[in-house]
């Protein structure tokens, strides 16, 4: 489990770095509420972006995006609304993105970003 936790945190950092290099600004990480956890919350221009990060060390469990099911998308929507409700100022337009990180121990990581998955 510790390996998976480390891999997940590493993937989230790689995702944050990738998105920041694209001009986004991280405003929250690992935000929790009774519905679950949001990996990353960023600002992209006038939009608040909620990002689900899926990290894999290999392809033995399929592509990381395959783990984002309809049920997971519904939970991400609830989490995004809960985060917005918890803020003191308006959040403007929102969107939900996904980032897949392939982080094998023997090669450089690959980061893929999908916008507006929900």
* pLDDT per residue as tens digits for the range 61-102: 889 999 999 999 999 999 999 999 999 887 889 999 999 999
Q: Please, how many CA atoms are within 13 Å of residue 16, restricted to the half-sphere of its CB?
A: 17
Q: Is the dihedral of CA 27, 32, 35, 38 positive or negative?
A: positive
% of the chain beyond a pLDDT of 90: 78
% of the chain beyond a pLDDT of 70: 98
CATH number at residue 61: 3.40.1350.10
pTM listed for this prediction: 0.93
In the predicted model, is pLDDT for residue 18 greater than 90?
Answer: yes
Average pLDDT of the segment spanning 40-51: 97
Longest Cα–Cα distance of the chain, Å, equals: 45
Cβ-proximal residues to 113 (8 Å cutoff; 6+ apart), any chain? 15, 18, 19, 22, 97, 98, 99
pLDDT band (50, 70, 90) for residue 2:
low
Q: Please, how many CA atoms are within 13 Å of residue 107, restricted to the half-sphere of its CB?
A: 10
Q: What is the pLDDT of residues 97-113, one digit of tens each?
A: 999 999 988 899 999 99
pLDDT band (50, 70, 90) for residue 1:
very low
In the predicted model, is pLDDT for residue 4 greater than 70?
Answer: yes
Number of domains composing the chain? 1
The whole domain housing 67 covers 2-114
Mean pLDDT value across the chain? 93
Q: Please, how many CA atoms are within 13 Å of residue 69, restricted to the half-sphere of its CB?
A: 3
pLDDT of residue 14: 97
């Amino acid at each position: 489990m510790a390996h998976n936790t480390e891999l997940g945190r590493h993937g989230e950092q790689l995702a944050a770095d990738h998105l920041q290099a694209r001009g986004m600004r991280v405003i929250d990480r690992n935000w929790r509420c009774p519905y679950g956890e949001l990996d990353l919350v960023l600002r992209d221009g006038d939009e608040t972006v909620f990002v689900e990060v899926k990290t894999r060390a290999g392809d033995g469990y399929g592509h990381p995006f395959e783990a984002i099911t309809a049920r997971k998308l519904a939970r991400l929507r609830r989490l995004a609304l809960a985060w917005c409700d918890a803020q003191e100022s308006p959040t403007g337009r929102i969107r939900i993105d996904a980032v897949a990180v392939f982080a094998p121990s023997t090669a450089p990581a690959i980061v893929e970003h999908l916008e507006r998955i929900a």
